[in-house]
């Protein structure tokens, strides 16, 4: 059976298609329609988290998380609740099984978390 990967918060299909080309049962998911033809769930990724996935890659929105925008919050010009909610979504993804890999977090904490969890798995390599 093919390993299953869910590429969450992706509408471009770029990562999904790379995995599909390498023999994975690869799905992307986003509120938006996929830009390219492929296996895509249009809707909330939370609908899919209870399914079995061998890998979860996520590109959650970074608008209220990235360092380049946090000055709006720290200067009191943006509701901190927006960041709390964005972080809660990230934590939801990270606490799903298996933990996600994402390249959207500026300080790369997702990668660290992912590598710590999967560094002994020869099927997975992250450059």
Ligand X SMILES: C[S@@+](CC[C@H](N)C(=O)[O-])C[C@H]1O[C@@H](n2cnc3c(N)ncnc32)[C@H](O)[C@@H]1O
Residues that bind ligand X (CB under 6 A): 9-12, 14, 29-32, 44-46, 59, 61
Compute CA distances 61 → 30, 100, 120, whole Å. Answer: 11, 14, 29
Smaller CB separation from ligand X, 14 or 112: 14
To ligand X, the closest distance from the beta carbon of 64 in angstroms equals 12
Q: How far apart are CA 20 and CA 23, in angstroms?
A: 5
The backbone region for 43, taken as left when phi is positive above 0, alpha when psi lies in -120 to 50, beta otherwise, is: left
Smaller CB separation from ligand X, 32 or 84: 32
To ligand X, the closest distance from the beta carbon of 82 in angstroms equals 13
Smaller CB separation from ligand X, 81 or 116: 81
């Amino acid at each position: 059976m093919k390993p299953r990967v869910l590429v969450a918060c992706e509408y471009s299909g770029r990562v999904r298609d790379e995995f599909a080309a390498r023999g994975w049962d690869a799905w992307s998911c986003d509120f938006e329609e996929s830009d390219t033809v492929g296996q895509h769930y249009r809707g909330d990724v939370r609908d899919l988290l209870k399914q079995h996935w061998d890998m979860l890659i996520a590109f959650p929105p970074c608008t209220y998380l990235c360092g380049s925008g946090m000055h709006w919050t720290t200067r009191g010009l943006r509701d901190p609740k927006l960041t709390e909610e964005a972080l809660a979504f990230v934590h939801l993804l990270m606490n799903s099984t298996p933990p996600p890999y994402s390249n959207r977090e500026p300080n790369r904490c997702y990668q660290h978390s992912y590598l710590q969890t999967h560094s002994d798995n020869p099927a997975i390599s992250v450059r």
